[in-house]
Structure 1
Amino acid sequence: MLDDFMIRAALAGLGVAIAAAPLGCFVVWRKMVYFGDATAHAAILGVAISLALSISVFTGVLTVCLLMALAVSTLGGKSYAMDTLLGVLAHSALAFGLVSVSFLSGIRIDLMAYLFGDILAVRPSDLAIIWSGAALVLLLIYWRWSALLTATLNPDLAQAAGINPKREQLILILSLAVVVAVAIKVVGVLLIAALLIIPAATARPFSTTPETMGIIAVMIGGFSALTGLYVAYHFNTPTGPTIVSLAACLFFGSTIISALLSLRR
């Protein structure tokens, strides 16, 4: 029988994987990989604000991530190229966050847990937040799936169909902010983007429809989370990096299999 903390860790990993994988498909399709990374980096500033104001880490991280998302959506393409804006905002937020943490006297903080995750320390209250966030993201994706997909594949067609591509992009980046906020406990700031991107990229060669890609990505993300947790527990390796390393191995394996199948054709 598994210990309670292992059951909580497994449920936390599944919750994050289920939310991140389908959202990661849109990140891959839209080539928004850097945005996921930038939002994750900004989360450290949210951690510092949470500790300074004695509020929950989830609240602080979600607030900063939402502000980052709104700033990118508002300023993107106006004065600077998107990658330039993301680079400035991401690294500035990370730097301010790390500096702010150093000024927090009398507060003990395990910075490595926020950078790389600490899934084994997940509490029941964390589980409630993770699954609530995952449910919200999944409902948003289910509700806006057709509109999001149309706006992603062909913005002009979306406009002609009465769909506002800017609105759909805002919904997407707000969903990303929620995923980052709930995933920080599981895989940490530095690995969140990997959990978003790798399952989706792994599923892509074997998918014939967008829906298939989303389903396969969820399965790969869930398998990576559970198997990575098992491997980390038995070999005493850091859990977050182990989960992402396993997902990376699946990606390389799928790439090799896809290449071999292409040669046979």
Structure 2
Amino acid sequence: MHEQLHRIITGARGKSRPFFLAGRRSRYALAAVFFLLVGGIISGWFFSDRYLAQRRQITSLESELAASKSLNQRIRDQQAQVNSSMTELKKRSRLIESILNKVGVALKMKRSTNGAGGPFRKPAKDSYQDLTLEMDRCITAVCSVPLGPPARGIVSSTYGNRLDPINQKPAFHGGLDIKGRDGEKISAPADGVVSEHGCNEECGNFIEIEHGKVFRTRYYHLQKRLVATGDRVTRGQTIGLMGNSGRSTGTHLHYEIHYRNRPVDPLRFVQIRNHITRLPTVDLDKS
């Protein structure tokens, strides 16, 4: 007796229709169904695993993209800070140069084509490093320029020709006389080194300070010296007390400025103090 696979197929209208498969055919059909199910399961697992891998890759890419956006934003913020600092540096540099120009001091750099070389490159725009070096150069120059009054008081005699206060004869006055209280503090108007000190009949107690390689300042008729030859002084440091020593008619400070070994009018250096107080300030450490 042959084995048969008996199946009944019901239509949409409820009518049934019998379907018979012989034994060998039934085995083939079951095998086909089995392989289809197994293939479906394997395919589903394969594509599911592939889908999960793609999702992990997409998640990783999204994370990297977010990190990249955050880094780009930080770079933009830092660039904005650098641009702001560069603007401030330019302002400071221009202001310092204008102050030095007012007193007749030019910032110069010695350049030469001898002993120079290197690869040719197109000119670059101002860099933060270049502006920082320029600012350092300006600050170094300003630190060695005697700016502001060395003592409190009233200007009693200016630089230039005048009648000598003792013999009333025409004479050249090579400095600025500042009348003040006896014992008034006298301060260094710039960083420097005391190059000479002493006492004589003309100058009384005196001090000479060398500021860098181009400026020297002198202070005559002191009551007392508080620094000696070889001492290093800083701007604002008290170096002596006002007095009436030497060839003098009363308590005052005779103040001289020499630029490249020639006397210059100290008044323009004293009056520049108003410009110094306008120097802008910026915290570069935050840049």
The bucket for the TM-score relative to the shorter chain is under 0.3
TM-score calculated relative to the size of structure 1:
0.19
Relative contact order, CA 8 A, sep 6+: which one is greater? 1
Computing the radius of gyration over CA atoms, which structure comes out larger, 1 or 2?
A: 2
TM-score calculated relative to the size of structure 2:
0.18
Of Structure 1 and Structure 2, the greater helix share is in 1
Of Structure 1 and Structure 2, the greater strand share is in 2
